[in-house]
Amino acid sequence: GAVVSQHPSRVICKSGTSVKIECRSLDFQATTMFWYRQFPKQSLMLMATSNEGSKATYEQGVEKDKFLINHASLTLSTLTVTSAHPEDSSFYICAGSGSTDTQYFGPGTRLTVL
Amino acid sequence: LAKTTQPISMDSYEGQEVNITCSHNNIATNDYITWYQQFPSQGPRFIIQGYKTKVTNEVASLFIPADRKSSTLSLPRVSLSDTAVYYCLVGDPYNQGGKLIFGQGTELSVKP
């Protein structure tokens, strides 16, 4: 149980374009979803926390207008990287927590901006 | 959120028991301790969670002393496939939606 999926697993885009990443909780209702970013050889960095139906809470230093988060249902959250640039290339990971309040992570999305 | 301190790396051999200790001196009353495992280019996988004393599941054991200022993840009889980064996290699952802040983690290398 507690499976989280992400789509796509890998995406390559041109600089200046926007990319949407989907995160789904497959067998539980994720009242809270989290988005992380991980650069090579580094730990996960929390970007934002979102509760279903509410606006996301962003961590200090994360631009909310650049990283748009939508958590419209208890099983789906999306992260849109707007006007992506090469420095946005990273591994993006989502996590969901539900009734048990333990975070379960998705497999991650590798974003490469050319 | 309480900060955690773990060894940066550890080496072990197949079949050995591995104990990874995490220090969390500023743990709050409502905080739980959670351990995750991460392989390269994958999301972290939940291993075990506890509040006090000892917790055991089919994968690992978690030992938490009475003062809760540290915890030890015990992996019995490791294999090559246990080579990964292990993260110790402390947080209140009932506050801020269970927000967690990841530290550096421990890179475990299991050798044949």
- Give the mean pLDDT of chain B: 93
Res A91: pLDDT: 97
Residue B61's alpha-carbon distances to A42, B2, B55, B91, B99, in angstroms, are 26, 22, 6, 19, 23
Q: What percent of chain B has pLDDT over 70?
A: 96
Res B96: pLDDT: 64
Res B41: pLDDT: 93
Residues of chain A with pLDDT under 70: 1
Cβ atoms of A58 and A67 within 8 Å: the answer is: yes
Per-residue model confidence as pLDDT tens digits over B16-53: 999 999 999 999 998 999 999 999 999 999 999 999 99
Report which of A97, A81, A93, A78 is spatially closest to residue A33, judged by C-alpha positions. A97
A72 at B interface, C-beta within 8 A? no
Chain B residues in contact with A35 by the CB 8 A cut-off are none
Mean pLDDT over B64-93 rounds to: 95
Selected residues 79-108 of chain A with any CB under 8 Å from a CB in chain B: 91, 93, 95, 97, 100-108
